């Protein structure tokens, strides 16, 4: 069916116009070789009406108008699309236009119509410039973000490397193990290795065994250690006081850092990129140096790598110094233990040697006092009694020394079992009743709970309580003084308290009274003497029975000693 003439125009106008009417770019459609304007959107119409663009000669059009007809003729004849062709008007200052034209084929593929798109060249270039600017900014931002990510990753790697090294260095205080860890240190850069020189206590410089990452070069690296001189050296020769980077171009500094031409020859044979020498400094003293070596051909060490090397060197220096101090302290401990053992053996031997003549003195004194060797006057009886009292006092002191030696050497025997603290106090009071009465002291014994049963050695508990009560008697002023004995249960612990109204103990002396052979002055009332071992023995006995001995004291008020012991299981079950 024949289509009415002009109906196609209406269809094109309706369909194209609907989409392009308000487009920001100038669009138009022409028909035929004469380029009759079939459609123009609002932008194209405005440019056309203003005489800025024209299609062929147009009466009244300004000289600066851009004629699109030549471009349209070319497309109509070639039937090929023309893209971004620039139309330069003849007038100065006129707008240049970028024109894209594509054909709309009719019957037989011959162009029937042309579609035209017109853009302002300056607007296009401005858009392109803005696009380039945006693209450049995006690229710079991406590169910046990439650099930040790379730096963050590098910082993370360095932190992890430092953390691993710190962990390895803290694993042991053994000096050999610490040195083994130090000599295997590297930097995160692949292929790096290190040379470690340590200043010993006698001033000699010792190079630790060198470990190279390439087993094929280990023999050469080993020679770097063997060639190191063993004599004492100036510490500034061992290492500069500041981190130093040495390269192949460093000249005399390279020879100095290598410590001789033979060492330099070996380094060149092994191959290296650069040397980073970092001193091992701790407590303001140079203890050696670490020389980090990079692979041949690698770039010099970066500031970040230098900072990491300084951190590693600081931790190595501290670890090496701590290991050295631990070794020296352990050696001193062994010497002290041996000296203490010799002291104990001497005290034990001398105490046994004293016992024999003292017992003989006591025996002969009793024989004379009994009159078996002739008549004894009353005055002689008094003198013999004094001799006997002093002999017993010396025997007590010797016994105290022997007990101390046995406790300290671990030869004291313990027979652990239930001990009722109230009964133990009763036994001690009976033993020391005369001493308490002689000083006219008041003894107070509050009720002691039946469940106050300790798991301990009965004899050792009584020995501790005797020492505590005797100390209270000794240091409590005669007449008017009070000694209080009490016990209680706290959780799974039983406590035995011995309190007095003596002069008290100064705060700075509270711990020292438990040291061997330490004895505080008891004032003019002191007539007991002693060697100052009672409290030391008592605390050792308490701790050997899984307990403790503590004291609370106020000067001018008095003191309270507390024996802590674990509660016996039967007593725990009853509660």
DSSP state string for 401-430: HHHHHHHHHT------EEEEHHHHHHHHHH
**What are the two backbone dihedrals, phi and then psi, of residue 97, each rounded to the nearest 5 degrees?**
-125, 145
Q: Which residues contact 438 (CB under 8 A, 6 or more apart)?
A: none
Residue 531: per-residue pLDDT: 61
Residues 176 and 41: their CA atoms lie apart, in Å, by 91
Residue 5: per-residue pLDDT: 45
Q: Are 545 and 414 in contact (CB under 8 A)?
A: yes
Residues 528 and 473: their CA atoms lie apart, in Å, by 10
Q: Give 494 or 347, the one with higher predicted confidence.
A: 494
Give yes or no for residue 548 having a pLDDT over 90. yes
DSSP letters along 530-547, please?
A: --S-HHHHHHHHHHHTT-
Q: What is the pLDDT of residues 421-442, one digit of tens each?
A: 989 888 888 888 888 888 888 8
Q: What is the mean pLDDT of residues 107-114?
A: 82
Give the least confident one: 41-50, 267-276, 460-469, 529-538.
529-538
Give yes or no for residue 145 having a pLDDT over 70. yes
Q: What is the mean pLDDT of residues 312-319?
A: 88
Give yes or no for residue 143 having a pLDDT over 60. yes
Q: What is the mean pLDDT of residues 357-384?
A: 79
Residue 523: per-residue pLDDT: 43
Give yes or no for residue 49 having a pLDDT over 60. yes
Q: What is the mean pLDDT of residues 176-191?
A: 86
C-beta atoms surrounding 412 within 10 Å: 17
Residue 570: which pLDDT band, with cuts at 50, 70 and 90?
Answer: low
Residue 393: per-residue pLDDT: 60
Q: What is the mean pLDDT of residues 120-146?
A: 76
Q: What is the mean pLDDT of residues 76-93?
A: 81
pTM for this prediction:
0.46
Which helix (H) or strand (E) segment is 31 a member of?
A: strand 26-31
pLDDT above 90 covers what percent of the chain? 8
Residue 549: which pLDDT band, with cuts at 50, 70 and 90?
Answer: very high
Q: Give 127 or 544, the one with higher predicted confidence.
A: 544
Q: What is the mean pLDDT of residues 476-499?
A: 88
Residue 418: per-residue pLDDT: 92
Where is mean pLDDT largest: 73-77, 217-221, 357-361, 447-451?
Answer: 73-77
Q: Are 86 and 97 in contact (CB under 8 A)?
A: yes
């Amino acid at each position: 069916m024949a289509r009415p003439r002009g109906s196609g125009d209406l269809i094109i106008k309706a369909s194209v116009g609907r989409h392009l009417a308000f487009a920001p770019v100038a669009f138009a459609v022409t028909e035929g070789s004469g380029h009759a304007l079939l459609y123009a959107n609002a932008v194209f119409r405005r440019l056309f009406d203003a005489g800025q663009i024209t299609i062929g000669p147009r009466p009244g059009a300004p000289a600066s108008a851009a004629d699109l007809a030549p471009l349209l003729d070319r497309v109509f004849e070639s039937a090929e699309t023309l893209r971004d062709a620039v139309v330069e008007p003849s007038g100065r200052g006129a707008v240049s236009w970028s024109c894209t034209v594509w054909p709309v084929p009719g019957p037989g593929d011959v162009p029937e119509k042309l579609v035209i798109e017109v853009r302002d060249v300056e607007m296009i270039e401005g858009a392109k410039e803005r696009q380039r600017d945006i693209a450049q900014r995006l690229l710079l931002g991406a590169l910046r973000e990439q650099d930040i990510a790379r730096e963050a990753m590098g910082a993370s790697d360095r932190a992890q490397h430092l953390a691993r090294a710190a962990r390895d260095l803290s694993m042991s205080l053994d000096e050999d193990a610490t040195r083994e860890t130090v000599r295997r240190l590297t930097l995160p850069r692949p292929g790096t290795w290190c040379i470690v020189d340590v200043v010993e206590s006698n001033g000699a410089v010792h190079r630790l065994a060198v470990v190279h990452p390439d087993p094929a070069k280990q023999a050469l690296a080993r020679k770097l250690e063997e060639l190191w001189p063993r004599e004492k050296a100036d510490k500034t020769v061992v290492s500069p006081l500041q981190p130093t980077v040495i390269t192949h171009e460093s000249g005399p500094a390279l020879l100095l850092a290598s410590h001789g031409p033979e060492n330099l020859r070996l380094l060149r044979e092994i191959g290296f990129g650069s040397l980073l020498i970092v001193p091992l400094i701790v407590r303001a003293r140079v203890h050696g140096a670490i020389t980090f070596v990079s692979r041949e051909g690698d770039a010099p060490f970066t500031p970040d790598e230098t900072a990491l090397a300084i951190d590693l060197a600081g931790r190595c220096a501290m670890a090496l110094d701590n290991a050295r101090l631990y070794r020296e302290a352990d050696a001193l401990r062994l010497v002290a233990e041996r000296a203490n053992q010799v002291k104990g053996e001497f005290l034990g031997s001398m105490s046994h040697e004293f016992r024999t003549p003292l017992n003989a003195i006591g025996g002969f004194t009793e024989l004379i006092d009994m009159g078996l060797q002739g008549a004894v006057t009353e005055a002689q009886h008094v003198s013999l009694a004094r001799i006997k009292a002093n002999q017993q006092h010396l025997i007590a002191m010797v016994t105290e020394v022997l007990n101390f030696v046995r406790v300290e050497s671990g030869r004291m025997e313990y027979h652990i079992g239930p001990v009722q603290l109230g009964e133990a106090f009763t036994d001690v009071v009976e033993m020391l009743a005369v001493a308490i009465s002689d000083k006219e002291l008041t003894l107070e014994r509050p009720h002691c709970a039946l469940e106050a049963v300790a798991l301990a050695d009965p004899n050792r508990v009584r020995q501790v309580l005797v020492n505590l009560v005797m100390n209270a008697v000794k240091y409590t002023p005669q007449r008017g003084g009070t000694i209080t004995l009490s016990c209680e249960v706290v959780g799974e612990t039983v406590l035995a308290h011995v309190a007095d109204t003596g002069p008290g103990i100064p705060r700075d002396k509270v711990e020292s009274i438990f040291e061997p052979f330490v004895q505080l002055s008891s004032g003019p009332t002191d007539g007991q003497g002693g060697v100052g071992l009672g409290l030391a023995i008592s605390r050792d006995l308490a701790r050997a029975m899984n307990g403790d001995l503590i004291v609370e004291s106020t000067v001018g008020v008095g003191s309270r000693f507390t024996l802590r012991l674990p509660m016996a299981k039967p007593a725990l079950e009853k509660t």
